[in-house]
Amino acid sequence: MALSIATRQLDGVTILDLSGRITLGEGSVQLRDAVRDLISKGVKHILLGLGDVNYIDSSGLGELVSAFTTAKNQGADVKLLNLTKKVKDVLQVTKLYTVFDIFDDEASAIASFK
């Protein structure tokens, strides 16, 4: 299943609810385009909802990292919400779990941007 992205706003935070796979050829480019589009519009607070992402590969990890660094370079923040077990597993193995701000509930994630 390819990646689908739904965008919503809550208390000054733009939430991208992702669903599907973030892999080479199936979701990496969509994620990159979505995040870069927000940053180019001056959006500073971006939360990626990963509760329905059941698979991420090394390319997808690269896109998450790129989103994080691109945002930082523009004075914006990208944070992660609701990791599935598989995505958490991969982030832990690659030590990227220590790089991102990761939340299990949306309210705490939204509050963290203030």
Partner 1 sequence: MAVVAWRADRAETDPLTEPQKGRLSFKLASTMDSVAEVEAAAEKFTQAAGLDEDESFRVVMAVREAAVNAVLHGNGYDPNKQVSASFENTGKSLVITIADQGEGLDPATLPDPLAPENLLRGTGRGIFLIRSFLDEVHFRQLHPGTELTLIKHLQPVASEGAEQTQ
Site for partner 1, rule CB under 8 A: 23-25, 55, 57-59, 61-63, 65-66, 68-69, 85-86, 89-90, 93-96, 99
Closest contact distance (angstroms) between CB of 3 and partner 1 is 15
Decide whether 93 or 111 has the Cβ nearer to partner 1: 93
Q: b/e map of 70-100 (b: 16 or more CB within 10 Å)?
A: ebeeeebbbbbbbbeeebeebbeeeebeeeb
What's the closest the beta carbon of residue 70 comes to partner 1, in angstroms?
A: 10
By C-beta, is 57 or 77 nearer to partner 1? Answer: 57
What is the token pair recorded at 19?
Answer: 């669903």
Extract the tokens encoding 38. 């927000």
